[in-house]
Chains A and B, each alone.
Chain A
């Protein structure tokens, strides 16, 4: 049977962001896939080099609208490493609270999007309604719904009052109750099971070899969570379980994310009850020491990596961001081209793609533009390799 190509994207109702999936299709089944993620290159890394460390924070939070808290925490941790100063424990707890809150909002949002991808609009509406409770809490704590910029270099921007903590606990009760309901729906509703079980299969070996991160790798039965393996804020003091699933499919990803919601709720409760006294911020000088720093943070989508190279000036010499979506693209290819029992239909592509919780705008990092010749291009891995061998990355 001959194959033909179906392009999905860069503009497509199922894709919230510009990504081109070139599907090679045989009848209704997918046999090959090719991506293009660089429709949205924003040059944030270059822009960061032109800003001071304190000015860079609002920009970093805008890398991703949904895991902005993770980006903020990662950036501040990264810069603080250069200063070599102890950050107050209360600030670390508050950072944990805001990070877990944003994880709840991200996972609820993803549950809705996943339901939407399989045509379950009612669940989409419900999860997004309940996400509003979390958004309201984010607003009362930080003053903003989306780009919170709560985590600052040297601590956090505001303290949490006793009254606000009580409100937060009440919201957690609502979120817990609703999450339990969604878990019940996801586990018992037959059409959800039919559309997610055995779909987007990623074996444990593939998950490891493609270096996938976050809920994807955990749903393939690998116990990998930066919060547990490399605690960065108060995660070593707040107890939590790393949720894994052995089903290796989209259903497992739904279950992992839903169970993680409950873990987040418990972590926030614990953090509020054991919130240490003390300052929530210390003042740090404008210029950090020269040197380099690398931090890893468990963003809602997976491991997020920030790197700074500082020459002791006001501004970073080089800043590098590796977002979880980029790490998961290899896994996505493995999922879409799985063979045999787990072959992927055209109808399964949106949910398989959606299951990695893609955030393409955060992903595109390298894009070359020659202004004089008016052309733009991207380097392939081989080209990068060749140039790095020759010892000159930039022409």
Chain B
């Protein structure tokens, strides 16, 4: 590759549509989530920082960065300090797989659909290690719960992705997007897969009704109880980037990715706009789900996943297989 090519690749990875773009998108999505959630609950939500409080997540992030750095005495220091970094790195790497400005992501290869799901599991493992490394009994309960939950939702999530990959006859995200040039996957039997995906995404992101690992009323903050300052900021950012990633994955798999009608010559710009708008729709669905339900109990979550979510994913899988 020429020097020019390297520079362009680096800029793509670091600035747009890579790290910086995802960073600001993550903060924007958090604002959208908080504001929409607040409006659903008849509250005002973020209001004072910037236009309708749009800078509030950024202000929170900066505030957390400037806070005192506390590492409790009894924690496993290495794990405790490394897990936030791992979590953030993994989720940012995951977003590089997403097709944003074109039909393929910055990193694109055959099988990246599988990698994207694997990364989600890895993020859950970092959550588990974050919990057990702090030796706090609430954190340990939270860590246990996050793993129990993973047992429930991971297989349905994978099945929903496999269903889409079957239709596209390929395991790379770019060809999954390419196969939706005509009709989006959400139209037809994959609608079931979309429902499964939304529920599993809600569980992956630890949002109501699946926010057990950090259930405030039961185990205070769960696995992140001992985290404060920069480490908490990193975890929160990781969570927001993961939110972007899961919304983007939903768009990629079911809503035709960034594809749409474009004006010649401005395709990347249009693709980006389509991507953001579509993923905001997915985010809005996630937020409505968050506002509509009460928190389930851990045994109820696992039972729900195996009793309803898995059969639903299997039905979707069978229908897709039969239709091929």
User: What residues of B have a CB within 8 angstroms of the CB of A6 in the complex?
Assistant: 137
CA A4 to CA B296, docked complex, whole Å: 24
Please tell me which one of the listed residues A117, A191, A345 contacts residue B217 in the complex, with CB atoms under 8 A apart. A117
- Please tell me if the beta carbons of A125 and B43 are within 8 angstroms of each other in the complex: yes
Contact A115-B218, Cβ < 8 Å, known A122-B41, A126-B42, A347-B212: no
Residue with the highest number of chain A CB atoms closer than 10 Å, among B41, B217, B300: B217
User: What residues of A have a CB within 8 angstroms of the CB of B216 in the complex?
Assistant: 13-14, 119
Question: A350 contacts the other chain (Cβ, under 8 Å)?
Answer: yes
Q: Smallest CB–CB gap between B202 and chain A, Å?
A: 13
Question: A134 contacts the other chain (Cβ, under 8 Å)?
Answer: no
Please tell me which one of the listed residues B41, B141, B292, B296 contacts residue A195 in the complex, with CB atoms under 8 A apart. B296
Question: A384 contacts the other chain (Cβ, under 8 Å)?
Answer: no
Contact A349-B42, Cβ < 8 Å, known A118-B294, A118-B295: no
Residue with the highest number of chain B CB atoms closer than 10 Å, among A12, A119, A189: A119
Q: Smallest CB–CB gap between A33 and chain B, Å?
A: 15
User: What residues of A have a CB within 8 angstroms of the CB of B295 in the complex?
Assistant: 118-120, 191, 195
Digit string of A186-220 for contact with B (CB within 8 Å is 1, else 0)?
Answer: 00010110110000000000000000000000000
Q: Smallest CB–CB gap between A340 and chain B, Å?
A: 16
CA A4 to CA B218, docked complex, whole Å: 17
- Please tell me if the beta carbons of B211 and A119 are within 8 angstroms of each other in the complex: yes
Question: B291 contacts the other chain (Cβ, under 8 Å)?
Answer: yes
- Please tell me if the beta carbons of A346 and B42 are within 8 angstroms of each other in the complex: no
CA A285 to CA B121, docked complex, whole Å: 76
The residue in chain B whose Cβ has the minimal distance to the Cβ of A125 is B41
Question: A28 contacts the other chain (Cβ, under 8 Å)?
Answer: yes
Question: A385 contacts the other chain (Cβ, under 8 Å)?
Answer: no
Question: B40 contacts the other chain (Cβ, under 8 Å)?
Answer: yes
Please tell me which one of the listed residues A13, A14, A117, A347 contacts residue B297 in the complex, with CB atoms under 8 A apart. A347
CA A121 to CA B208, docked complex, whole Å: 9
- Please tell me if the beta carbons of A192 and B41 are within 8 angstroms of each other in the complex: no
CA A291 to CA B292, docked complex, whole Å: 57
Contact A195-B294, Cβ < 8 Å, known A13-B220, A121-B208: yes
Question: B299 contacts the other chain (Cβ, under 8 Å)?
Answer: yes
User: What residues of B have a CB within 8 angstroms of the CB of A129 in the complex?
Assistant: 42
Please tell me which one of the listed residues B41, B218, B292, B296 contacts residue A194 in the complex, with CB atoms under 8 A apart. B296
Question: B298 contacts the other chain (Cβ, under 8 Å)?
Answer: yes
Q: Smallest CB–CB gap between A191 and chain B, Å?
A: 4
Q: Smallest CB–CB gap between A114 and chain B, Å?
A: 10
- Please tell me if the beta carbons of A345 and B299 are within 8 angstroms of each other in the complex: yes
Question: A348 contacts the other chain (Cβ, under 8 Å)?
Answer: yes
- Please tell me if the beta carbons of B298 and A191 are within 8 angstroms of each other in the complex: no
Question: B6 contacts the other chain (Cβ, under 8 Å)?
Answer: no
CA A4 to CA B42, docked complex, whole Å: 42
Question: B79 contacts the other chain (Cβ, under 8 Å)?
Answer: no
CA A349 to CA B208, docked complex, whole Å: 18
Contact A350-B43, Cβ < 8 Å, known A119-B294, A120-B295: no
Question: B48 contacts the other chain (Cβ, under 8 Å)?
Answer: no
B84-112 CB contacts (< 8 Å) to partner A: none
- Please tell me if the beta carbons of B294 and A192 are within 8 angstroms of each other in the complex: yes
CA A239 to CA B121, docked complex, whole Å: 61
Digit string of B209-236 for contact with A (CB within 8 Å is 1, else 0)?
Answer: 1011001111110000000000000000
Question: A116 contacts the other chain (Cβ, under 8 Å)?
Answer: yes
Digit string of A370-386 for contact with B (CB within 8 Å is 1, else 0)?
Answer: 00000000000000000
CA A119 to CA B292, docked complex, whole Å: 11
A99-142 CB contacts (< 8 Å) to partner B: 115-123, 125-126, 129
- Please tell me if the beta carbons of B209 and A346 are within 8 angstroms of each other in the complex: no
Digit string of B33-57 for contact with A (CB within 8 Å is 1, else 0)?
Answer: 0000000111100000000000000
- Please tell me if the beta carbons of A350 and B217 are within 8 angstroms of each other in the complex: yes
- Please tell me if the beta carbons of A120 and B218 are within 8 angstroms of each other in the complex: no
- Please tell me if the beta carbons of B297 and A345 are within 8 angstroms of each other in the complex: yes
User: What residues of B have a CB within 8 angstroms of the CB of A122 in the complex?
Assistant: 40-41, 291-292
Question: B293 contacts the other chain (Cβ, under 8 Å)?
Answer: yes
The residue in chain A whose Cβ has the minimal distance to the Cβ of B292 is A122
A152-198 CB contacts (< 8 Å) to partner B: 189, 191-192, 194-195
Please tell me which one of the listed residues B219, B291, B294 contacts residue A191 in the complex, with CB atoms under 8 A apart. B294
The residue in chain B whose Cβ has the minimal distance to the Cβ of A124 is B41
Contact A14-B42, Cβ < 8 Å, known A119-B208, A120-B294, A194-B296: no
CA A94 to CA B176, docked complex, whole Å: 71
Contact A347-B293, Cβ < 8 Å, known A117-B217, A119-B209: no
User: What residues of B have a CB within 8 angstroms of the CB of A121 in the complex?
Assistant: 41, 208, 291
CA A13 to CA B221, docked complex, whole Å: 9
- Please tell me if the beta carbons of B42 and A125 are within 8 angstroms of each other in the complex: yes
- Please tell me if the beta carbons of B218 and A14 are within 8 angstroms of each other in the complex: yes
User: What residues of B have a CB within 8 angstroms of the CB of A191 in the complex?
Assistant: 209, 293-296
- Please tell me if the beta carbons of A346 and B41 are within 8 angstroms of each other in the complex: no
Residues of A within 8 A of B (CB): 4, 6, 12-14, 28, 115-123, 125-126, 129, 189, 191-192, 194-195, 345-350
A-B complex: 3 closest residue pairs judged by Cβ atoms: A119-B295, A120-B294, A14-B217
Can you report 15 residue pairs joining A to B where beta carbons are below 8 Å apart?
A: A13-B220, A14-B218, A28-B299, A119-B209, A119-B217, A120-B293, A121-B41, A122-B40, A125-B41, A189-B294, A194-B296, A195-B294, A345-B298, A346-B218, A350-B218
